[in-house]
């Protein structure tokens, strides 16, 4: 398991630190996921690294993902993204 500062909420800056295949966090709809353990299993190969440490919402919710991937998300959830108000 990788270092997680007190189980969120997480800032975009904190998520951005986790941007490698051995430490990979992504943001999906303002939720943070540690998908490090899924990198090797990802059917799309290195495509999982395209938004490493960043918001993957737009690319994630497309026709390339079947329903199984949505069922798996809870296993990787680590916390909420900090919301800043103007």
Asked whether residue 7 is domain-assigned, the answer is no
**Res. 48 pLDDT band, cuts 50 70 90:** confident
Contacts of 9 (CB under 8 A, 6+ apart): 32, 79, 80, 81, 82
Considering the domain boundaries, does residue 55 fall inside one? yes
What one-character DSSP code corresponds to residue 2? Answer: -
- Give residue-wise pLDDT tens across range 8-33: 799 999 999 999 999 999 999 999 99
Q: Look up the pTM and report it.
A: 0.81
CA nearest 35: which of 10, 67, 69, 59?
Answer: 69
Q: Is residue 48 part of a domain?
A: yes
Which structural domain, as residue segments, surrounds residue 73? 12-80
Helix (H, G, I), strand (E, B) or coil at 46: helix
> Which CATH number does the domain housing residue 45 bear?
3.10.120.10
Residue 34 scores a pLDDT above 90: yes
Domain count within the chain: 1
């Amino acid at each position: 398991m990788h270092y997680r500062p007190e189980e969120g909420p997480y800032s975009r800056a904190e998520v951005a630190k986790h941007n490698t295949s051995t430490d990979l966090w992504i943001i999906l709809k303002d939720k943070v996921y540690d998908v490090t353990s899924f990198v090797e299993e990802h059917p799309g190969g290195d495509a999982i690294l395209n938004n490493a440490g960043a918001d993957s919402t737009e690319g994630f919710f497309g026709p390339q993902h079947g329903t199984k991937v949505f069922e798996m998300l809870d296993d990787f959830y680590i916390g909420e993204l900090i919301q800043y108000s103007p």
